[in-house]
Amino acid sequence: MTGIRLLLPLVFLGLCLATARAQIEVKLKMTRNNFVAGEPVLVQVNVTNRSGQDIVFQGNSRAGWLDLMVNTLSGNPLTPLGQPAFGAVKIPLGQTMSRTVDLSRLYPLQSAGNYSVYASVRLPGQTNEGFVSNRLLFNTSTARPYWTQKIGLPGKAGQTREFRVLEFNSGSKTMLYAQVMDSRTGGSLQTHPLGEVLMFRKPSATLDNRQVMHVLYLISPDMWGHVRVASDGKLLGRELHKRGAGSDPVLYTSKDGVVEVGNSIPYDAKAAAEARGKVRKASDRPAFIFN
């Protein structure tokens, strides 16, 4: 009888785990599957709890609760850059947890290639692969350098950086990227997607007296983007400009090395959206009553 009493909780736990295993959904989503080598490769992990109970997902010293596996198309797994740590999360019954992960921080995706990714989620106490998601295909490609400039780092003899503006044609549109390279390792410190560019007005780039890269490029027929990137790869700012009096905006460098956008009208997208929201439609006007 004592053995039966000890066995019953184990049987109950096994039934609960079996039910959960049958009713945990794991799905991956990507907004696009073409990336430039060095830029963030973002994938969204969605975990839905249909187990009949709230579940706390958490790892242990041997394994985490969430794994993302990246393979080459030939099936060879990539070696992770380190052991990722995803904190514990509670998913109530019937709810979905969404988490966006940058694969370029988990795996070496700095060179061009074709890859696949899938996720595995484990319940507390599970040591096997767990619940496996759908598999997504993506690729990383090299982009053509449109503009480059090497600099030395102040106070760090022999250490250099290389600023790059990259142009990538996906077939239907041309995309622009700002990149900072570590010349010693040859690796990308950071690659920022700047979005679509219209190349009938050539982008311009220069450095200011603080060794910050400025890029000015045409986004739409009447809108220019201005981006600033520091030598450590940090994105310092992104502004919009419209055409000034009679000619296109330009990057202007003063005698003391300060770079500004000249011949432009700064455009505040948020203020413009708020202004459009305040414009009343004809149907919103009060009716007039004639006696």
Per residue, the 3-state secondary structure of the chain, as one string, reads CHHHHHHHHHHHHHHHHHHHHHCEEEEEECCCCEEECCCCCEEEEEEEECCCCCEEECCCCCCCCEEEEEEECCCCECCCCCCCCCCCEEECCCCEEEEEEEHHHCCCCCCCEEEEEEEEECCCCCCCCCEECCCEEEEEECCEEEEEEEEECCCCCCCEEEEEEEEEECCCCEEEEEEEEECCCCCEEEEEEEEECCCCCCCEEEECCCCCEEEEEEEECCEEEEEEECCCCCEEEEEEEEECCCCCCEEEECCCCCEEEECEEEECHHHHHHHHHHCCCHHHCCCCCCC
Q: What is the pLDDT of residue 4?
A: 43
Say which residues have a Cβ less than 8 Å from residue 212's Cβ, sequence separation at least 6: 228, 229, 230, 231, 236, 259
The 10s digit of each residue's pLDDT in 225-236 is 999 999 999 999
- Return the structure tokens found at 93: 């019954």
Q: What is the pLDDT of residue 172?
A: 80
Q: What is the pLDDT of residue 284?
A: 56
Query: What is the block-wise mean pLDDT of the chain (291 residues), using blocks of 10 residues?
Result: 44 43 86 91 96 87 86 93 85 95 92 93 81 96 94 84 93 91 86 94 97 97 96 96 89 96 89 60 44 33
Q: What is the pLDDT of residue 214?
A: 98
Beta bridge partners of 169: 174
Name the one residue in this structure whose structure tokens are 């040859």: 186
